[in-house]
Structure 1
Amino acid sequence: MRRRRLPEIRLALMMMTRLPVGTFEGPAPEITHARWAFPLAGVPLALIVWAVLAGAGALGLPPLVGGLLGVTALVLATGGLHHDGLADFSDGMGGRDRAQRLAIMRDSRVGSYGVLALILAVGLGAAALAAFPSGPQTGLALLLCAVVSRLAILVVMDWLPPARDDGLGHLAASAGKDRMCWVPGGLLALLIVPFVGLPGIAALLVMAAAIGIVGQRAKARLGGQTGDVLGAVQLCSEIAGWVVLSAAL
């Protein structure tokens, strides 16, 4: 049966954002078929942040206020999905053993590690956005980080086994390794990099390091990935890219 690309993109947007994309008239695609489109979900999110930064600059608001508004817009557009993952992942790392760490991550309450992680994520993200120059290159830089950080979700899905027998991490990885699903996001990133230049290459290297650090930590402490791990990978790598680009652009 022929795959339906547009419905798969819509499902990816539903999974990764809170943007209004309508409903399905027929059966929804399987998430395992739609994961190739996860990086594409970063495109409208990057445009939203860029528009907010541009609007704040046009109104003459202080750069840090613009940065905070940009982070706020991103949180609203994603429903705080990845921030929640980072908080749960950070809390879970304080557990005594694998079972307790996974139990803590499933607990809806946020502990001290999670709160501190969120403060650092919001603070670093806002400060980095505040340092971005105005102009189209900023939009392209934000787009690069948005696409690559969501491509990282696919990479970690194929790199690490699911740490649980249920949950988003297990569901998304249930189809097995399929590196062809990396291709659309990878090609889009390669198209953007030349327009960002050397700062974009530097950002990619640091983002790769952030992905590796979070992924290796999850492998060592949890034995694999979960939905919270994937959220932490996305957010940490995106903010890492912002920080590099804020200094290099």
Structure 2
Amino acid sequence: MTEGSGSTGPSGHAHGPRVPGAANRRWWDDNADGYQHEHGEFLRDTGFVWGPEGLDEADAGLLGDIRGLRVLEVGCGAAQCARWLRTAGAHPVGVDVSFRQAQHARRLDEVTGVTVPVITADASALPFADAAFDVACSAYGALPFVADLNAALREVARVLRERGRWVFSVSHPVRWAFPDDPGPAGLVADRSYFDRTPYVETDSSGRWVYAEYHRTLGDWVRALTATGFVVRDLVEPAWPADNTNVWGGWSPLRGRLLPGTAIFVCQRP
């Protein structure tokens, strides 16, 4: 990430000042405990869930056959997904900007007896050699929070081997036109889908301490193709009838009417 804040253009770059990467890192360190306490049961200590709808990689198979493959999880949090990958026969490595999340990963290693290496690093500067991995994945990790999306995608492309698969999920872009409310108020659009002004939080002095960047579906496709990826599929999971969870603005009420998650299935040529 680079310094300062601003809206995001069609190429995936954020123009103008951007929130400092160190600020986002501090935010995730400060909020890691609360995040794991609130969502840990849903995520499971060893489980790969693509988003609040509960789509499980064990059922979806979006990564393909990962047995024996080297897999990088970008923005891994406490490495729940990477830990599942290990049990499925892969050789996973997790990377996350938050050191506190990495500590939670170590805690879950001890609880489960399934250990995965987790490295603290920025998604825009991955500390791995070229073509080090066969597959890369990310479930709501890192990408929505980087100002320069293309820089992060170039890094993923660099560490993937030729024809390596890259699958990631993000909040569905259409949700940005609606209030982040799980109730009826969240069903009425109150802003333009094309307004790429990022969501930000500030401290008492007005400094940015957290940012999440909005890209349209077209922005995502252009950024992926500009960095050399081929988009093979776009998965928009429906909300299952048996999922009664409310997670921020995601809920059964909204999930029946609006897409909540977009999963991009890509490949490096």
> TM-score, with normalisation over the residues of structure 2?
0.27
Which of the two has greater helix per residue? Answer: 1
Which of the two has greater strand per residue? Answer: 2
Q: Which has the higher contact order (CA 8 A, sep 6+)?
A: 1
